[in-house]
Structure 1
Amino acid sequence: MESTIRKAKKICPFLKQASPTALRALSTSSAGKSSGLLEAAGSCPVMAKVLAQRSAGIHSNAKIHAHPSLNEIPTKVEAPSTPRATTEVNKPFNYSQFYKTEIEKKKNDRSYRYFNNVNRLRAEFPRAHLKDIDNKVTVWCANDYLGMSTNPKVLSTIHETVNMYGAGAGGTRNIAGHNRHAVALENEIARLHHKEAALVFSSCFVANDATLTTLASKMPGCVIFSDQSNHASIIQGIRHSRAKKVVFRHNDLVDLESKLQQIPLSTPKIIAFESVYSMCGSIAPIEAICDLADKYGAITFLDEVHAVGMYGPSGAGVAEHLDFETYANPELAAEATAAKATVQSRIDIITGTLGKAYGNVGGYIAGDAVMVDTVRSYAPGFIFTTTLPPAVMAGARAAIEYQRETCKDRVAQQTITRYVKARLADAGIPVVPNPSHIVPVLIGDAELAKQASDMLLDDYKIYVQAINYPTVPVGHERLRFTPTPGHSREVADKMVESLVAVWQRLNLRTVSDWAAQGGLEGVSTFSPTERQASPMWTDKHLAFGAIPQLEYSDRYTVNEAIELPQEIACSA
């Protein structure tokens, strides 16, 4: 008994602090009343469960799950006078049936994900084979936007590194995973974004989740303002932080400001948004959001995942692209950054990925050194995760360096994107208008979107995955095309012809059909010029990338029907 009391006092803070006199007084029963100790136990989150089990007639050999050590405390429970009938309540939970029911829900609402066995071929990019190695298709939906996963410089760097250092990193950064490759990669990322420091994670999902969770949970009373269309990783980070979340309408500055006005200036605030929204291709008004952040005392958290490698003279993303001419001149860039005179220099936290335009895997944050060190020191998603392999980090660094030195892949990608959008517009295929490299083709029905995807794959050897809920809202289902420098005009023509055939076979809605119904996501007009938003890469930007031997101010401009030299229209 003495041993049990000692164990109980170690577990219970009430028993630990109470004096023997107070405990004796509580344990004394008044006439017709239960003891004060029992009443106190009824308010305890641990002992209340034990008492409830007693009153329900649970046998003493049942385990108490409120606290492991309480299993050792004997509990006297009277056996029921008559045997109880077996009921559903007393049966174990049916886990298998639970899983089946949840999957059936997904299948019934047409949001169940079917995975295709697609094996991309390095030597035939953007071709791939399916389960059968002889069954080849053209991939139109990968996020390897520039084909950097097949870049010779990247591949040779990976081969050399893996031969010297092996496959794995050996552990977390704290234990065995901190090495020259991690240091060099983070230095390169910081240089890319003109920031003091960077930190690499296993993915940008983890980077977003860990950073928002850490910072918002540490800042007292922090409020996060989140764009309505933000990625799941941002939403997850906000949820894990337990900070107050305020959602503003997608890219709506008026709505954002009206909500910022309601929070005191002294309250810490984070405005979390993306530069390129990957499912609709829209681009955030970054500079205007920075203005609001300055006005209302907020910091900015910009996800450049679908923009790094793709925009700007060095591939740093949309924030760099907005000051293209400045960043095209290293001296101007250094001066403007020091004075915080560019959009990119005004962003507090930039997150990006190494797994899309850079063709590798991993994610990162970049910003002030003290902010990065705070995340490094507190974020469980960084501290307790095995770091990326040396070969991966070396390959990612090689990809960043390569794209920092040339614009030709970005120019080729933007050029073929313009061509594809124009061909689809002429054919009446409903493309959601946007200024980015994303080509979202609207269908508006989950089942029809899957049928279209399957038909393109089976009958036309074109792989493009159907996008449905929860990635996009119900009724906004689509096919998402991502042209690359490896997609020639001939390949694009075949894709458009195949898509038109599928549209006719499935009787899918064209642009005019959507217009007759009032339109959706901007698909509502008949004029091709109105349907196509002005691209981020202007003619002058494209000319800059096409003629690298001239200074930016000397570049010539080209018209909408830009024709680039043949060697630029393929990946390096």
Structure 2
Amino acid sequence: MPCPFLGSLNQAFVRNYGAGLLKQYGSFCPALTRGFRTLGNDETKCPFIQNNGPIISEAPKEMTEDIKPEPVGPYKYDSFFHDQISAKKKDYSYRVFKKVSRLAADGLYPAALEGADNRRVTVWCANDYLGASRHARVQDAAVAAIRSYGTGAGGTRNIAGNSQMTEKLEAEIAKLHDKPAALIFSSCFVANDATLSTLAKILPGCIVYSDAGNHASMIQGIRNSRAPKHIFRHNDPNHLRQLLAESPAGVPKLVVFETVHSMSGAICPLEEMCNIAHEYGALTFVDEVHAVGLYGKHGAGIGEERGIAHLIDIVSGTLGKAYGNVGGYIAGSSLLIDTIRSLAPGFIFTTALPPPVLAGSLAAIRLLASEEGRSLRAKHQAIVRYLKLSLLVAGLPQMPSVSHIVPVPIKGADKVALVAESLMKRGHYVQAINYPTVARGTERLRFAPGPYHTTEMIDKLVAALIESFHENDISFNQFVENGACRECSMEYKMDIAYEEPYKYPMQVA
């Protein structure tokens, strides 16, 4: 239907002066002014159509009587959420958080109170690897900080102020890793995410090379950066070299990997991977989360233990595992740290760590860097070796691991959950690990014994594990043949990094 106003004008005139006509008279057109309706007037109907009678007739009743409009209501959010949770439960990937309260008192640790009736169980899967969270020196430091400075930080470091304890802790972390500077975050997930997303985003044309076994925090940071990435096979320096050799020269590159893998216990070929990265002009970002406090003379991680910490350009670590507190950090060059401090939203807009955490973390780092820390590490390695040998002697499955993490594979999310539940009934708490933490079909129990576990506790655990396998019809006695894994023929090696000044009684030779 032509416009009754413009249709009465010469077409050449409209073409030449249409813009001016719209500007001058457009406000009088009811079609153009629908967004500027005035109260009480209905400008949605063209007056030309209204004045010339109905042009479009309604459809006959016979054609419309069986058409019923779909009722439109609010979206059924709860129904959607219910379907999501049901799907997780059906494939046994639904997470059930056990009600476990770990005890810290002498003579009780590493026990916990479980369930509503507070039944006593032994904890085998906590990442408080050396029991630093319950050490008197760490506790006293945290309590003193509360009394002096309160329980909270009061806001971000920019808003509430930068406490002296914050600066002391960052200086201690930098000293630990022999780096010029360090920066602490609310968690190591945030440290990895914020650092990688910021660096890969601001470096012009940056390309990221990520280990296939990297933690979710690093994967998230790389994704958030939207930088192009290449994934190399887990702990495979040859594949890393192949990918880097195909990269353009002169562009920024980040090689991202971790030393101790949290779910397999594998340790990367650190020196070789760092050397390859530097050969092609890349920065190395190395996650030492499951190594800090546990390896090296002062507990700085695999880099320190192997004497190659200087090859790591950016190291990330946690205060929430071996150091027994909460929070994460990075350490590196002063300019790099200042860049992340100035540009990373995950750091800038997050409330600072509270005083008791700062004081407790500082005390824990100093504790584990001392002679007492070295003694705890030796006890830790000894008890880890005893568990590995005990599993081997019993014929129980275990994934080859040269670190303190002892994974026991049980294929099937349903099966691993059943074994974990059977162990809990027998007084042993270990969490079933399934998708998405590990790939489907690689489910496992992940044991992390510590220096306060005893050989007697391990003997009881192994006996309970055997009973739990039998109870759930899981075969295991043919897993080991001639001291090697039946599947891959890899020998189980229990070598430790340094001489142990401490020996448990009745150890298997």
TM-score range, shorter chain: 0.7 to 0.9
Report matched runs for 1:17-32 at 5 Å: none
The structure-2 alpha-carbon separation of the partners of 1:523 and 1:443, relative to structure 1 and needing over 3 Å to count, comes to: farther
Query: How many Å separate the matches in 1 of 2:427 and 2:379?
Result: 24
Q: What residue identity is the alignment partner of 1:195?
A: K
1:533 is aligned to 493
Query: How many Å separate the matches in 1 of 2:213 and 2:42?
Result: 54
Report matched runs for 1:162-561 at 5 Å: 162-323=146-307, 343-406=308-371, 407-458=374-425, 460-510=426-476, 512-513=478-479, 523-524=485-486, 530-533=490-493, 535=495, 537-538=496-497, 541-543=498-500, 546=501
Please give the per-residue CA displacement for 1:108-147, whole angstroms capped at 9, x wherever unaligned.
2211101100000111110000133541100000000000
Question: Contact 1:511/1:526 (CA < 8 Å) preserved in 2?
Answer: no
Which 4+ runs in 1 deviate beyond 4 A? 22-29, 59-62, 74-85
Query: How many Å separate the matches in 2 of 1:24 and 1:386?
Result: 60
1:10 is aligned to none
Query: How many Å separate the matches in 1 of 2:121 and 2:45?
Result: 71
Deviation, 1:168, is 0.2
Residue 470 of structure 2 is aligned to residue 563 of structure 1: no
Query: How many Å separate the matches in 2 of 1:309 and 1:75?
Result: 74
Please give the per-residue CA displacement for 1:478-507, whole angstroms capped at 9, x wherever unaligned.
000000011010111100111011111112
Query: How many Å separate the matches in 1 of 2:217 and 2:431?
Result: 21
Please give the per-residue CA displacement for 1:422-478, whole angstroms capped at 9, x wherever unaligned.
0001111111001100000000110010011111112x1100000000101100000
Question: Contact 1:177/1:387 (CA < 8 Å) preserved in 2?
Answer: no
Aligned CA-pair RMSD = 2.9
Query: How many Å separate the matches in 2 of 1:290 and 1:75?
Result: 72
Please give the per-residue CA displacement for 1:309-356, whole angstroms capped at 9, x wherever unaligned.
000000000111112xxxxxxxxxxxxxxxxxxx21111100000000
Q: What residue identity is the alignment partner of 2:291?
A: A
Question: Contact 2:197/2:221 (CA < 8 Å) preserved in 1?
Answer: yes
Query: How many Å separate the matches in 2 of 1:101 and 1:61?
Result: 44
Query: How many Å separate the matches in 2 of 1:61 and 1:136?
Result: 71
- Between the aligned residues of both structures, percent identity stands at 46
Query: How many Å separate the matches in 1 of 2:477 and 2:234?
Result: 23
Query: How many Å separate the matches in 1 of 2:189 and 2:20?
Result: 54
**Where does the alignment leave 5 or more consecutive residues of structure 1 unmatched?**
1-21, 30-34, 39-53, 63-73, 324-342, 516-521, 547-561, 567-572
SS at match of 2:238: helix
Deviation, 1:96, is 1.0
2:76 is aligned to 94
SS at match of 1:122: coil
Question: Contact 1:432/1:439 (CA < 8 Å) preserved in 2?
Answer: yes
Query: How many Å separate the matches in 2 of 1:235 and 1:186?
Result: 25
Q: What residue identity is the alignment partner of 1:174?
A: N
Q: What residue identity is the alignment partner of 2:493?
A: A
Please give the per-residue CA displacement for 1:64-110, whole angstroms capped at 9, x wherever unaligned.
xxxxxxxxxx996559997995326x433211111111111111221
Query: How many Å separate the matches in 2 of 1:125 and 1:75?
Result: 77
TM-score by length of 1: 0.76
Query: How many Å separate the matches in 1 of 2:421 and 2:337?
Result: 45
Question: Contact 1:274/1:284 (CA < 8 Å) preserved in 2?
Answer: yes
Bigger proportion of residues as helix? 1
Query: How many Å separate the matches in 2 of 1:244 and 1:27?
Result: 49
Identify the match of residue 103 of structure 1 among 73, 77, 85.
85
Deviation, 1:230, is 0.5
Deviation, 1:265, is 1.8
Question: Contact 1:230/1:274 (CA < 8 Å) preserved in 2?
Answer: yes
SS at match of 2:79: helix
Query: How many Å separate the matches in 1 of 2:473 and 2:357?
Result: 45
The structure-2 alpha-carbon separation of the partners of 1:344 and 1:25, relative to structure 1 and needing over 3 Å to count, comes to: farther
**Where does the alignment leave 5 or more consecutive residues of structure 2 unmatched?**
1-14, 47-55, 59-63
Please give the per-residue CA displacement for 1:225-252, whole angstroms capped at 9, x wherever unaligned.
1111100000000011011111111011
Please give the per-residue CA displacement for 1:379-414, whole angstroms capped at 9, x wherever unaligned.
110000000101111100000001101201111010
Question: Contact 1:177/1:386 (CA < 8 Å) preserved in 2?
Answer: no
Query: How many Å separate the matches in 2 of 1:350 and 1:272?
Result: 10
